[in-house]
């Protein structure tokens, strides 16, 4: 005869989720693959080599630091792979490979390992690498290539194979390459400095020049929706960031439609979509409180628009997210819900 049911008392947590960190990270990699494929279609062999090089640099750096620190191999959690893919997608397609590899090393070494590894980074590691590249290689990181160039699958952009500390070659590199090097302004630069607005449909579908993986707004939204539906992405952060950017840019557009771009241009141009969906949602560097994620997203959206309109550079997403990362702990503290049953203390008279 069975005895009375036994009650076991254990410490928290009492609720377990079968979805582990490595599973979530793996699905983020899945979501980034279509963006990478489209980037190769848009910019060709140079984009493919850049993605492979930066990804390899990040994985190798992670492996070496694990060996030096005598830690278990952490490549299986896919965090270094995500850093490599995101960093590559934020760089110009013709970015010299040695510079991309250097930025990948910095992203892992300073953006992740320095803070203690996965789950302890203060800033998004990919953006740490991008910020380093912005400061160390200002000319290369603002040199753009045209999208859908006819030679993109048979020749390389000349700067791709540039040796360290050397100027790029005068022509394309690759089989039968006879095309002279060409450069192209991004939609953000055209709007900011020449007041020329790019067609909204081209921006939405990604048929423009820009960073390797930032142009495909529609594809990025679809990949983000995949993660959100699987509950592997907090949809409130990109919603808050994109919504605030739309509202603020719309206000400026109503003030002066000639000087300031329309809200749809703001949403679909530059790296706003990629940053809002894949970078601002970094769980470690973002707050977790219900009100905090909305404030966090709104702050980055407002900063993006202000930097774009009044800063010296046409793009401001990277700086907006890094500032948001820095403010995240304070936002989390200020928006922490009160514990059930807690009585608010009265201030002494």
Higher pLDDT: 288 or 47? It is 47
pLDDT band, very low/low/confident/very high, at 77 (cuts 50, 70, 90) = confident
Query: Is 133 part of any domain?
Result: yes
Contact yes or no for 114/107 (Cβ under 8 A):
no
Q: How many structural domains comprise the chain? A: 2
Check whether residue 301 and residue 319 sit in a common domain.
Answer: yes
Check whether residue 72 and residue 196 sit in a common domain.
Answer: no
Query: Is 3 part of any domain?
Result: no
Please say if the pLDDT value at position 90 is more than 90: yes
Q: Which among 3, 75, 44 is positioned nearest to 212, based on CA atoms?
A: 44
Query: Is 7 part of any domain?
Result: no
Check whether residue 225 and residue 312 sit in a common domain.
Answer: yes
Check whether residue 73 and residue 167 sit in a common domain.
Answer: yes
| Residues 6+ away with beta carbon under 8 Å from 216 | 35, 38, 39, 42, 205, 206
Higher pLDDT: 119 or 296? It is 296
How many CA atoms lie less than 13 Å away from 125 in the CB half-sphere?
Answer: 32
Query: Is 346 part of any domain?
Result: no
What pLDDT score was predicted for residue 170? Answer: 46
Please say if the pLDDT value at position 341 is more than 70: no
135, 160, 183: which is the final residue of a domain?
A: 183
What pLDDT score was predicted for residue 284? Answer: 87
Check whether residue 131 and residue 263 sit in a common domain.
Answer: no
Check whether residue 29 and residue 133 sit in a common domain.
Answer: yes
Query: Is 202 part of any domain?
Result: yes
Check whether residue 178 and residue 189 sit in a common domain.
Answer: no
Check whether residue 214 and residue 95 sit in a common domain.
Answer: no
Give me the percent of the chain exceeding a pLDDT of 70.
Answer: 86
Please say if the pLDDT value at position 72 is more than 60: yes
Phi-psi region at 315: left, alpha or beta (left = phi > 0; alpha = psi -120 to 50): beta
- Ranges 29-33, 170-174, 283-287, 310-314: which has the least confidence: 170-174
Check whether residue 102 and residue 114 sit in a common domain.
Answer: yes
Check whether residue 174 and residue 219 sit in a common domain.
Answer: no
Check whether residue 177 and residue 190 sit in a common domain.
Answer: no
Higher pLDDT: 250 or 186? It is 250
**6-26 average pLDDT score:** 67
Query: Is 310 part of any domain?
Result: yes
Query: Is 88 part of any domain?
Result: yes
Structural domain of residue 176, as residue ranges? 19-143+148-183
What pLDDT score was predicted for residue 13? Answer: 52
What is the DSSP-derived secondary structure letter of residue 6?
P
Query: Is 125 part of any domain?
Result: yes
Contact yes or no for 74/27 (Cβ under 8 A):
no
What pLDDT score was predicted for residue 167? Answer: 67
Check whether residue 237 and residue 169 sit in a common domain.
Answer: no
């Amino acid at each position: 005869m069975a005895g009375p049911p036994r009650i076991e008392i254990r410490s928290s947590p009492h609720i377990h989720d079968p979805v582990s960190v490595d599973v979530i990270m793996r699905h983020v990699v899945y979501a980034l693959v279509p963006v990478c494929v489209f980037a190769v279609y848009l910019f060709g062999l140079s984009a493919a080599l850049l993605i492979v090089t930066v990804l390899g640099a990040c994985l190798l750096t992670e492996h070496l630091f694990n060996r030096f620190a005598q830690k278990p191999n952490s490549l299986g959690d896919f965090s270094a792979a995500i850093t490599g893919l995101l960093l590559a997608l934020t760089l110009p397609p013709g970015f010299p490979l040695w510079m991309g590899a250097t930025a990948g090393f910095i992203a892992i070494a300073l953006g992740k390992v320095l803070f203690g590894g996965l789950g302890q980074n203060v800033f998004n590691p990919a953006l740490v690498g991008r910020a380093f590249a912005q400061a160390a290689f200002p000319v290369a990181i603002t040199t753009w290539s045209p999208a859908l160039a006819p030679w993109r699958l048979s020749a390389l952009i000349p700067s791709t194979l540039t040796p360290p500390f050397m100027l790029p070659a005068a022509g394309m590199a690759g089989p039968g390459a006879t095309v002279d090097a060409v450069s192209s302004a991004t939609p953000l630069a055209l709007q900011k400095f020449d007041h020329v607005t790019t067609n909204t449909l081209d921006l939405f579908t990604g048929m423009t020049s820009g960073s390797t993986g930032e142009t495909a707004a529609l594809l990025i939204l679809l990949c983000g929706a995949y993660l959100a539906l699987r509950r592997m992405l907090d949809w409130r952060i990109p919603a808050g960031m994109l919504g605030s950017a739309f509202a603020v840019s719309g206000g400026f557009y109503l003030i002066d439609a000639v000087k300031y771009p329309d809200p749809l241009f703001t949403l679909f141009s530059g790296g706003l979509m990629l940053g809002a969906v894949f970078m601002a949602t970094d769980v470690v560097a973002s707050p977790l409180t219900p009100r905090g994620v909305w404030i966090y997203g709104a702050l980055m959206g407002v900063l993006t628009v202000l930097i774009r309109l009044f800063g010296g550079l046409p793009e401001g997403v990277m700086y907006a997210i890094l500032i948001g990362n820095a403010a995240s702990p304070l936002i989390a503290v200020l928006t922490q819900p009160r514990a059930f049953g807690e009585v608010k203390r009265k201030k002494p008279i």
